[in-house]
Amino acid sequence: MKKEPGFVLIGTGFIMPRHVEAINAIGGKIKDVVNTAYGEYLFEDVIKHTSAENVVILAPNHFHRAMVRNALYWGKSVLCEKPLGISTKEVEDIIELEKTSKGKVFTVLQLRHHPLVKRLEREIDPEDDHEITIYINVFRDQKYYSGWKGDDRKSGGILFNLGSHYFDLLVHLFGVPEKILAVEGTEKTMEGILEGKNFLCNWRISTDATQKEQQRVFQIDGQNYNFSSKDNLSYESLHRSVYEDFIQGKGIAPSEVLPATLLIENIYDIFKNGGVH
């Protein structure tokens, strides 16, 4: 009989129900749940003693590296909500730790499973020249900014907390940008221009939309691809696909996350130094 995969969940916030649904859908079993609200480092004891072979990290972004490190130490396989780290140093550290662990690490970037992305993977020729506009306009209320997501030290800022999905897709579909031509913005809205080998990309990521105005659009050579107009990407029911890959030992590895992480880090560096490369 095939072994039932066991999971321990670290974090019980907004995204947790999507993970519970996905685990149930693949026939997995949740064996332990822990929340940092009951002690920031309680997760260490839970990971050490759990019988589950898989650790799912749903905690605030600034905990991700420490939690991944601990899980790898005990030989667990890890599924971590994006971003895997809020700096290249954090991601590089995880890459090195994984080399000496029995466990594996994968990141939740569920848009990779979106039907539009699958279509674009088939249709886009990376050798052609492309004009791209990334327009992400979502609604987030003051409660969002009053919590850890509004604290750049904990979230990494809007580009790590929300932009990770879209910069990952840009790199995945078109390659790593070679130049950052411009960056400007505020706490709630950032925009700029990126240049790649065969593309020019204007991008804007904002939380200033009303609930009815929400869009997550890639415009590619004049054609719009709207990935979601819902309140949150988790409502697109893509997490099941992430888990189906995970239990087969597949997914988005730390090395795949590193290029987009470096891109975001460089954008912030340029922004802090005046916004022009």
Give one DSSP letter per residue of the chain, joined into a string. -PPPPEEEEE--STTHHHHHHHHHHTT-EEEEEE-GGG-TTHHHHHHHH---SEEEE-S-GGGHHHHHHHHHHTT-EEEEESPS-SSHHHHHHHHHHHHTSSS-EEEE-GGGGSHHHHHHHHH--TTS-EEEEEEEE-B--HHHHHSGGG-HHHH--HHHHTTHHHHHHHHHHH---SEEEEEEE-SSEEEEEEE-SSEEEEEEEESB--GGG-EEEEEETTEEEE---SS-GGGG--HHHHHHHHTTT-SB-HHHHHHHHHHHHHHHHHHHTTSB-
Q: Which domains does the chain have, with CATH numbers?
A: 6-111+237-250 (3.40.50.720), 112-231+261-272 (3.30.360.10)
pLDDT at 277: 47
Q: Please tell me whether the overall predicted TM-score, pTM, comes out greater than 0.75 for this model.
A: yes
pLDDT per residue as tens digits for the range 195-243:
999 999 999 999 999 888 899 999 999 999 999 888 888 777 899 999 9
Residue 54 has pLDDT above 90, yes or no: yes
pLDDT per residue as tens digits for the range 111-168:
999 999 999 999 998 789 999 999 999 999 989 899 999 999 999 999 999 999 999 9
pLDDT at 1: 52
pLDDT per residue as tens digits for the range 13-22:
989 999 999 9
pLDDT per residue as tens digits for the range 80-95:
999 999 999 999 999 9
